[in-house]
Amino acid sequence: MDQIAPEVYGSLNYAPKKFAAQSLIILGSQNRLFDTIVDIGCGDGGVTKELAEKLRHRQLVAVDVDPAMTAYAQQTNPGRSIEYKTQDVSVAWDELSEDIRALEGKVTLIFSNFVLHYIRDKSRLVANFSRLLTTAGAGGCIHANIFIPADLNRKLP
């Protein structure tokens, strides 16, 4: 995937931000306290900041594979409960950073907004998600807005 300049990114993702806003309405209506939220593919941190403001939580870890993006997010969209990390979450579990592996069994919400279709090794990604999610209490959940080009192609003449 080509890299997008972080300062340009926010002006290019209008539609994904609208989907994220709808997702936050749905998730917020549950009035649930999420112990730990992980935002996969946080980009410039704009949606991450909305997550922090709209969902009750204790900790929010925002992850992106692009170090320029996480640095920009930290600078432009900081938050008391937000930690930005640079990480490819589709690598083998043992290759994840110690910070990410420390979340094993503790994550109550994995949120991803139009990112998962970029990840090639989805089976390894799902295995990592499985290890991150908690089974305690109400358990953990994944909320992902995804883009499936095949669906779009079926609608074309």
> Are residues 57 and 35 in contact, defined by beta-carbon separation less than 8 angstroms?
yes
Three-state SS sequence of 10-24: HHHCHHHHHHHHHHH
Domains and CATH numbers, the chain: 33-155 (3.40.50.150)
Below-70 pLDDT ranges, the chain: 1-2, 6-15, 147-157
Q: Output the six-digit token pair for 102.
A: 């420390």
Q: What is the pTM of this model?
A: 0.85
> Are residues 110 and 129 in contact, defined by beta-carbon separation less than 8 angstroms?
yes
pLDDT tens-digit series, residues 66-97: 999 999 999 999 999 999 999 999 999 999 99
For 66-83, letters b (16+ CB in 10 Å) and e give beebbebbbeebebeebe
pLDDT tens-digit series, residues 114-127: 888 888 899 999 99
Q: Is 48 exposed, middle or buried (0-12, 13-18, 19+ CB in 10 A)?
A: buried
